[in-house]
Amino acid sequence: MKKIPIGPGWFQASAIALGCMRISTLSDREAEQLIRTALDEGIDFFDHADIYGGGRSEEVFARAAGLSADTREQVKIQTKCGIRKGYFDFSRDHILASVDGSLKRLKTDYIDVLLLHRPDTLVEPEEVAEAFSTLHRTGKVRFFGVSNQNPNQIELLRQAVVQPLGVNQLQLSLAFSGMIDAGLNVNMQNSASVNHDNGILDYCRLHRITIQPWSPLQYGFFSGVFLGSDKYAELNRTIAGLATQYEVPEAAIAIAWLLRHPAGMQPIVGTTHAGRLKDICQAARVTLTRPEWYSLYRAAGNTLP
């Protein structure tokens, strides 16, 4: 597995990360097999959130990974906070309490990266700054970022937060490519030109913020997987052709499309099947050509201006 830089030069980590949202549904034995497969394939970055499985996903991971003081430094653990039942909460007290809960469930002394989950419109940047400084000073969190936030929301935080915000986790896939569509359809009046995210892709590149695409094999908002879907027949034919050419599974081509982007993205893959994870990891050895990248983009139903 190749390594890529995360954030503004924080550290190097695997180009593909394992998302642990669904591992609460696994037995300890199944979870151990999944995590062992990830490590064997070179994945050293694991993504969590305090709400995944009601906290149980972090607990299952801790038991399955069995990290000791000697092996903890070999992996990077990321978790998120801010989503509560019926509302969002970026208050100082909630951030601090959430991290303490995650540390306990993960059985670790520190979190490598903490992300603020979905935007809280009642956010007070000074409270976030106070929480982040406390967490950083006490060694509980090393680095910080956000999830699902646009440039102005990040700038609002940056006016108060001292630590760099070096990660933004955003939904992105071949079949969910709005942030790419808007950048290609500049000064147009078609639907693809609608800029929903205020240029988030270029903003992250300019500020050395690593984009972590979530649901990289999904279309819509948790609508389903586009691989094998009749809704994306042309895309699947194009993927199949490239998979044959590169001698990799089809899932690897879909992830390779994200890895090919010069933004240096780190896809978060959420499979709970060890075999599927092995297939996906083969994406790291595929470098699509520019014509191939655009052929996949067009096959997904996009028209170039």
Pairing label, strands 83-84, 87-88 = antiparallel
- Let me know: does 144 contact 165? Beta carbons within 8 Å: yes
Residues 15-43 as b or e (16 or more Cβ within 10 Å = b): bbbbbbbebbebeeebbbbbbebbbebeb
CA distance 4 to 138: 28
Torsion on CA atoms 48, 53, 58, 63, rounded to nearest 10: -140
- Which residues are catalytically annotated? 52
